Structure 1
Amino acid sequence: MAKSGVMLVKNNSPETANKKKKYYRKNVEFFKLIEKIKLWPSRTGMLHGIKSIKITGEIAEIITHCDEKFIVWNSRTSRAARWLRNKWCVCACKKCKIPTWKIEKYTSTMMTQKWGSNL
């Protein structure tokens, strides 16, 4: 019993455990963020699943599950970095077949300035 007279109950069901939000910092290194999330936003607003990432210095080669190849620079202010942080992507690629749990996990992830993991 709490002081206010209301009993506190913990709900440990699997549904609430999956709804927990992850917190990442907004200004983490871009390649670390991509390696962690394993999603790539294309210019059309589609989210692609990443099959492999090959990082060479400040440049990375990204190959998606639909066999598209991207050469990207390590920039925190790039279009892709902003789109991932702000979740501006419209839909998921049908060829990549991104599982729904991964999209739900991405949408529940919070990117904050002063709170969260540095990856």
Structure 2
Amino acid sequence: MALSEKKQKRYYRKNIDFFKLVAKLKLWPSRSGKLHGIKSMEIIGDIAEITTHCNEKFQIQNSKHSRAARCLRNKLFFHSCRTCKIPQWKLEKYAGTYMTQSYGSNL
């Protein structure tokens, strides 16, 4: 089995700071079910402004229990944005990421 065929499992803690998780993954699930790639993220207090690769801007709050936080943890999305052009290796890396309560990196 080659190194490219071997999938590495990544574990992150479930209840870490939401902004740190979004900054690490560089992915954003929109309300329509699309997964966008993040170009830049500017944090101002408890609110952050995200700019995606398709030049959409979102203002998000630092909430661990929000819709977007649940979607990122549970990998709930329908498809990736065609304009953002998220590479396949990044989607596979995201699919191999696990969020657990008591085990994993604190970021």
* TM-score by shorter chain over 0.5: yes
Q: Percent identity?
A: 62
1:15 Cα offset (Å): 2.6
- TM-score, normalised to structure 1, is 0.87
**Residue 42 of structure 2: SS of its match in structure 1?**
strand
Structure with greater strand share of residues: 2
Aligned residue pairs: how many? 107
Runs of 4+ in 1 over 4 A off after TM superposition: none
Return the match for 1:91 from 52, 60, 79. Answer: 79
Structure number with greater Rg is: 1
1:72 Cα offset (Å): 0.6
Return the match for 2:32 from 21, 39, 44. Answer: 44
1:50 Cα offset (Å): 0.2
Structure ranking higher on relative contact order (CA contacts 8 Å, 6+ apart): 2
CA–CA distance in structure 2, aligned partners of residues 75 and 118 of structure 1: 17
Unaligned ranges ≥5, structure 1? 1-10
Return the match for 2:14 from 26, 29, 39. Answer: 26
- TM-score, normalised to structure 2, is 0.96
Unaligned ranges ≥5, structure 2? none
CA–CA distance in structure 2, aligned partners of residues 105 and 90 of structure 1: 17
CA deviations on 1:43-62 (whole Å, 9 max, x unpaired) are: 01110000000001100000
Match of 2:4 in 1: 15
Amino acid at match of 1:56: I
1:90 Cα offset (Å): 1.2
